[in-house]
Amino acid sequence: MNAADPNEILDDEAALQLDANGNLRHLLTLKGLDRALLTDILDDAEGYLTAPGDLPARSQSLAGRTVGNLFFEPSTRTRASFDLAGKRLGADVLNLDVNTSSRKKGESILDTIYTLQAMHVDIMVVRDASDGVPAYIARHVQPHVSILNAGESDVSHPTQGLLDVLTIRQHKGAFENLTIAIVGDIRHSRVAMSATHALTTLGVGDLRLISPPVLAPDADKVPGAHIVDNLAEGIADADVVMALRIQRERIGNLDGIPGIDEYFANYGVSHDSMKLARPDAIVMHPGPMNRGIEIEGSLADGSQSVITQQVTNGVAVRMAVLDRVGKTMAAR
Amino acid sequence: MNAADPNEILDDEAALQLDANGNLRHLLTLKGLDRALLTDILDDAEGYLTAPGDLPARSQSLAGRTVGNLFFEPSTRTRASFDLAGKRLGADVLNLDVNTSSRKKGESILDTIYTLQAMHVDIMVVRDASDGVPAYIARHVQPHVSILNAGESDVSHPTQGLLDVLTIRQHKGAFENLTIAIVGDIRHSRVAMSATHALTTLGVGDLRLISPPVLAPDADKVPGAHIVDNLAEGIADADVVMALRIQRERIGNLDGIPGIDEYFANYGVSHDSMKLARPDAIVMHPGPMNRGIEIEGSLADGSQSVITQQVTNGVAVRMAVLDRVGKTMAAR
Amino acid sequence: MNAADPNEILDDEAALQLDANGNLRHLLTLKGLDRALLTDILDDAEGYLTAPGDLPARSQSLAGRTVGNLFFEPSTRTRASFDLAGKRLGADVLNLDVNTSSRKKGESILDTIYTLQAMHVDIMVVRDASDGVPAYIARHVQPHVSILNAGESDVSHPTQGLLDVLTIRQHKGAFENLTIAIVGDIRHSRVAMSATHALTTLGVGDLRLISPPVLAPDADKVPGAHIVDNLAEGIADADVVMALRIQRERIGNLDGIPGIDEYFANYGVSHDSMKLARPDAIVMHPGPMNRGIEIEGSLADGSQSVITQQVTNGVAVRMAVLDRVGKTMAAR
């Protein structure tokens, strides 16, 4: 939606997110949110965790509010996660099936938003395949409405970034001493971007973004991170290894990677490649996984894996964010 | 479903709507509902309005009841509006995805209805592309079940009609002195039909239905309204101008209207055409809008526009109707 | 998912269903559940029945729990029935649209399940077209999670079996003296299989499974039942006649049954064929019906039909089962 420099866009979005009192109003990107705020959100999220089998944490902090899930790209896990987070805070949740929506009928996205706003849908959770859509919406809604980015093109997926750093903090404590390796299609990964933003703000020791050269990020988008094209080098002595999902159809087009076997051999996170990391390293993946492509199945199911914990943390950080923007709304 | 005279069908439907005590049981059409009842519903709806940013009005008047949304045509706004209206009255809301429904498997519509009825879905909200479906269903359900028409072919869309007259009343007060212009594809518009029914009952001063001749309604369907084929003539001194959505594919088939530009020039509601209306005239549209075809985008966003207020009123009138049929049910 | 002997699979599934204290944890098949447990569930279900027009029964026994509906085959009635059953017990219900789900993205079914489990979806209602999927899932979930089979290939549909025997018990009392005829495509019917399991356990007097020879079940799957290929013989003096839905596309491939008319003449449950049953016999059908193919429409709507009562009982038995597994979960 915008041909401007991507970092400028992100800076601009960052400024949009806080109200005049510095309270979180929208969550569009983790870039520009300061360490204190990120830490507060993670602390709040911890408060929403309960043991498996126990009842999940609940409150009525969003009672009377309506959360609208507007997923213009298909999603199971993120939509379900926001749906449950909203319901467990007492909100009404409206799931819009955008396959049968007005957008098909040629309605502009802003008209859809204005319609929902007029129905008192005061928190809108938006996923879209185009750059800049969540911020574009945030610039146009009424002052009491909050927009939460649930996945934006290759740009940003802030609640994923929060759940990732929460999971790392639970296992590894302070970020300063950590070596963190993110492996895969970094270039097209909103997950990698949001993790990078959060980890950089939180003062990560050494962040390595590992991919085939053609899937490496632009260096100016990831200041402070090391761009690495060799898995062994990138994963060496890492405390945390995060594998990213790769689109299968991309694989055939990579230099020297004619097929899945070659991709797995060169960039797959496996028991073999994990031997180079620290013995107590954790393994992460945002899901859904392509087992045998970017990650070895038995590793994903093994004792180093924290993948399902990431999912649990996902509901908790979404509750923390929803509760926070609800409080900002109520304080107006 | 019926080759009989359309006015007879409507008269017949009107009689179905009230129970033996004169209470509203179904809402199938606004035709035949008297002025006192329409006014009562509008008054109730006013009670459900709150300011943007305030919590929406809620009650528990439908606690324990189940509202089923049966949309056999796709819809975002009307389905969402009924969904929120039901939830805000404390009902359980069942949204049926009819694309994966039994109807595909060849089940008759009545069998689907009997199934829902047997599950204690006591209020069914029905949208269908065929004439007469809501009334056909209403004739077959058990005495305690209510059917609400959420859009029926070209025939009727009664909650839309109610939200339209509520919006007009809020801005213009008494209907007797008003000149109201509805512009567009009148012939195929259930919105225009229901607005016409309500405005006629409420004693509108001058109702003008403006369209290219081939899209004009049959005169006997709109007794009391003026059928006009010239926009300038129809809009002159109007207090209210309502633009209707037109199917883009219809445009090429209109005499003298080979394309979108010609349609907009001749029948588009624009800043230019609004100069002929009263200076304080309001602009309405049922949505979703084709900006630049039936309405000028900047007019829709301007100070005369009450389009988002229509949406807000939509939730309120649906709450009023749901609450009313719930009370009828409880009084049995 | 499994090439082993189907009876062994079912025995194995039966053992999975109860926890160490003999409480119901999963509901995968009715085979192997004893008479006392089936009777308890039916008794519980009776407690959830209210008259049409009265408010449906409600409780808060699942308050705080989340029920996830995972329908990998499309369904209206069973999904809606579980949805309402869960909501009326106070649960949050998550409906997953598997057409836009991660399964499309190549995620394994277990990864989907682990994701939901990590989100505190503690009761999962699963429908799948493949044999063994519910049990496969049940073997892999955490100890506090319950799996309910909502329809499994041709194998099993246990809540349907429960609602069927509840309906029979309401009308006919003790099973010992009853002659029950099930008519149609027995071979491919999970409905017939689950009814057979339940009726056999409950001590049915005479169970007759009637179909064209090519649609007859394997005898070893239905021990105790009589396999009959002649409708007149099978229906003679029956107290209960249950017609099954047949896939239209199967009809042309049956020996001596070139079309719908022949199928209806030979195996249709009609006023004519019912003359051979007892005068007070009841007529059942699991829905959705093909009127005029496996059942005569006017018979389905007539005084002998208990088809909509089956639907009502369906919500009640699902509430009884959900409540029961919730109690098992809470007792851990």
DSSP string for residues in C136-181? HHHTTS-TT-EEEEEEETTTB-HHHHHHHHHHHHHHH--STT-EEE
Question: Which chain C residues are closer than 8 Å to A76 by Cβ?
Answer: 96-98, 100-102, 112, 115
Q: Is residue C182 part of a domain?
A: yes
Q: Are B227 and B216 in contact (CB under 8 A)?
A: yes
The verdict on A202 and A253 lying in the same domain is yes
The verdict on B182 and B267 lying in the same domain is yes
Q: Is the peptide bond before A279 cis (omega within 30 degrees of 0)?
A: no
B74–A104 CB contact, under 8 Å:
yes
**Chain B residue with the nearest C-alpha to that of A123:** B53
Region C158-169: what's the mean pLDDT?
98
Q: Which of A50, A84, A309 sits opposite C92 (nearest CB)?
A: A84
- Residue A71 DSSP SS3: strand
**Continuous H helices in chain A:** 6-16, 35-46, 77-88, 109-118, 133-140, 158-172, 190-201, 231-235, 248-251, 260-267, 271-274, 297-300, 307-330
* CB contact set of B6 (below 8 Å; sequence gap of 6+): B131, B155, B221
C122–A80 CB contact, under 8 Å:
no
Tell me the pLDDT band of C264, cut-offs 50, 70 and 90.
very high
Helix C307-330 with C35-46: angle, nearest 10 deg: 110
Q: Are C244 and C286 in contact (CB under 8 A)?
A: yes
Task: Determine which of A93, A105, A332 to mutate to test the interface with B (most B C-beta atoms within 10 Å).
Answer: A105
The verdict on A130 and A168 lying in the same domain is no
pLDDT for residue B1: 40
Each residue of A202-213: pLDDT tens digit?
Answer: 999 999 999 999
Question: Which chain C residues are closer than 8 Å to B64 by Cβ?
Answer: 55-56, 58
C12/chain B closest Cα distance in angstroms: 33
Each residue of A257-305: pLDDT tens digit?
Answer: 889 999 999 999 999 999 999 999 999 999 999 999 999 999 999 999 9
A to C CB pairs, distance under 8 Å: 80
C143–A311 CB contact, under 8 Å:
no
**Chain A residue with the nearest C-alpha to that of B316:** A119
Res A96 pLDDT > 90: no
d(CA A92, CA A261): 46
Q: Which of B64, B102, B114 sits opposite C58 (nearest CB)?
A: B64
Region C164-193: what's the mean pLDDT?
97
Region C184-202: what's the mean pLDDT?
97
Q: Which of B104, B107, B118 sits opposite C311 (nearest CB)?
A: B118
**Chain A residue with the nearest C-alpha to that of C146:** A53
Q: Is residue A132 part of a domain?
A: yes
Q: Which of C84, C288, C312 sits opposite B66 (nearest CB)?
A: C84
**Partners of residue C124 on adjacent β-strands:** C68, C147
Q: Is the peptide bond before B52 cis (omega within 30 degrees of 0)?
A: no
d(CA C308, CA B204): 47
Which residue type is seen at A11? Answer: D
A to B CB pairs, distance under 8 Å: 80
Residue carrying the six token digits 């105790």 = C224
Each residue of A215-241: pLDDT tens digit?
Answer: 999 999 999 999 999 999 999 999 999
* Residues 112-171, chain B, touching C (beta carbon < 8 A): 112, 114-122, 142-144
pLDDT for residue A1: 40
Question: Rounded to two decimals, what is the model's pTM?
Answer: 0.95
Q: Is residue B1 part of a domain?
A: no
Q: Give the DSSP letter of residue C72.
A: S
**Chain B residue with the nearest C-alpha to that of C310:** B118
C118–A53 CB contact, under 8 Å:
no
d(CA C254, CA B6): 46
**Chain A residue with the nearest C-alpha to that of C99:** A74
Res A136 pLDDT > 60: yes
B64–C76 CB contact, under 8 Å:
no
* CB contact set of C251 (below 8 Å; sequence gap of 6+): C257, C259, C260, C263, C293
Least confident among A3-17, C252-266, C291-305: A3-17
Sheet containing C240-243, strands listed edge to edge, beginning at the edge strand earlier in sequence: C226-228, C206-210, C179-183, C240-243, C282-284
C312–B120 CB contact, under 8 Å:
yes
B136: tokens are 């056909």
Burial of C106 (0-12, 13-18, 19+ CB in 10 A): middle
Q: Which of B64, B101, B144 sits opposite C53 (nearest CB)?
A: B144
d(CA A160, CA A156): 9
The verdict on C110 and C131 lying in the same domain is yes
The verdict on C306 and C316 lying in the same domain is no
Q: Is residue C185 part of a domain?
A: yes
d(CA C311, CA B289): 41
Task: Determine which of C73, C76, C100, C159 to mutate to test the interface with B (most B C-beta atoms within 10 Å).
Answer: C76
The separation between CA C307 and the C-alpha centre of its own chain, rounded to angstroms, equals: 14
Q: Are C68 and C96 in contact (CB under 8 A)?
A: yes
d(CA A232, CA C76): 52
Q: For residue A11, give Cα distances in angstroms to A146, B202, C304.
A: 18, 54, 72
**Continuous H helices in chain C:** 6-16, 35-46, 77-88, 109-118, 133-138, 158-172, 190-201, 231-235, 248-251, 260-267, 271-274, 297-300, 307-330
**Rounded (5°) CA angle A282-A288-A292:** 70
- Residue A124 DSSP SS3: strand
Q: Which of C288, C309, C312 sits opposite B111 (nearest CB)?
A: C288
Would an 8 Å CB–CB cutoff place B331 in contact with chain C?
A: no
pLDDT for residue B185: 96
Sheet containing A66-71, strands listed edge to edge, beginning at the edge strand earlier in sequence: A92-96, A66-71, A123-128, A146-152
pLDDT for residue A239: 98
**Chain A residue with the nearest C-alpha to that of B308:** A118
Element (H, E) at B158: helix B158-172
Below-50 pLDDT ranges, chain B: 1-4, 100-102
- The count of residues in chain B is 332
pLDDT for residue C144: 95
pLDDT for residue C138: 97
- Residue B225 DSSP SS3: coil
Chains touching A, CB cut-off 8 Å, 3+ pairs: B, C
Closest CA to C169 of C45, C256, C323: C45
Least confident among A126-130, C64-68, C117-121: A126-130
B26: tokens are 């179904």
The verdict on C197 and C56 lying in the same domain is no
Q: What percent of chain A has pLDDT above 70? A: 94
Question: Which chain B residues are closer than 8 Å to C58 by Cβ?
Answer: 64
C16/chain B closest Cα distance in angstroms: 31
**Chain B residue with the nearest C-alpha to that of C249:** B105
pLDDT for residue B73: 84
Domain containing A292 equals 158-308
pLDDT for residue C258: 83
pLDDT for residue C255: 83
The verdict on B186 and B286 lying in the same domain is yes
C107/chain A closest Cα distance in angstroms: 6
d(CA A111, CA C108): 38
**Continuous H helices in C48-157:** 77-88, 109-118, 133-138
- The rounded mean pLDDT for chain C is 93
B88: tokens are 């805000």
- Residue B15 DSSP SS3: helix
Q: Are A85 and A125 in contact (CB under 8 A)?
A: no
A102–B55 CB contact, under 8 Å:
no
Q: Are A123 and A24 in contact (CB under 8 A)?
A: no
Closest CA to A79 of A315, A308, A306: A315
Count how many domains chain C has: 2
Q: How many CB atoms lie within 10 A of CB B56?
A: 24
Burial of B295 (0-12, 13-18, 19+ CB in 10 A): buried
Q: What percent of chain C has pLDDT above 90? A: 84
Q: Are B148 and B123 in contact (CB under 8 A)?
A: yes
B102–C288 CB contact, under 8 Å:
yes
The verdict on A47 and A57 lying in the same domain is yes
* Distance, first Cα to last Cα, chain A: 31
Q: Is residue C1 part of a domain?
A: no
Q: Is residue C62 part of a domain?
A: yes
Residue carrying the six token digits 């985008």 = B297
**Chain B residue with the nearest C-alpha to that of A70:** B76
pLDDT for residue B99: 55
Q: Is residue A1 part of a domain?
A: no
pLDDT for residue B235: 98
Would an 8 Å CB–CB cutoff place A84 in contact with chain C?
A: yes
Q: Is residue A19 part of a domain?
A: yes
The verdict on B235 and B297 lying in the same domain is yes
At C125, which CATH number?
3.40.50.1370
A290–C94 CB contact, under 8 Å:
no
Q: Are B241 and B200 in contact (CB under 8 A)?
A: no
Dmax over Cα atoms in chain C, in whole Å?
57
Question: Which chain B residues are closer than 8 Å to A116 by Cβ?
Answer: 80
Burial of A99 (0-12, 13-18, 19+ CB in 10 A): middle
The verdict on B237 and B315 lying in the same domain is no
Q: How many CB atoms lie within 10 A of CB C171?
A: 16
Q: How many CB atoms lie within 10 A of CB A214?
A: 14
Chains touching B, CB cut-off 8 Å, 3+ pairs: A, C
Least confident among A84-88, A90-94, B257-261: B257-261
Would an 8 Å CB–CB cutoff place B3 in contact with chain C?
A: no
Helix A158-172 with A307-330: angle, nearest 10 deg: 120
The verdict on A292 and A168 lying in the same domain is yes
The separation between CA B57 and the C-alpha centre of its own chain, rounded to angstroms, equals: 22
Tell me the pLDDT band of A100, cut-offs 50, 70 and 90.
very low
**Partners of residue C283 on adjacent β-strands:** C241, C305
C92–A75 CB contact, under 8 Å:
no
The verdict on C176 and C302 lying in the same domain is yes
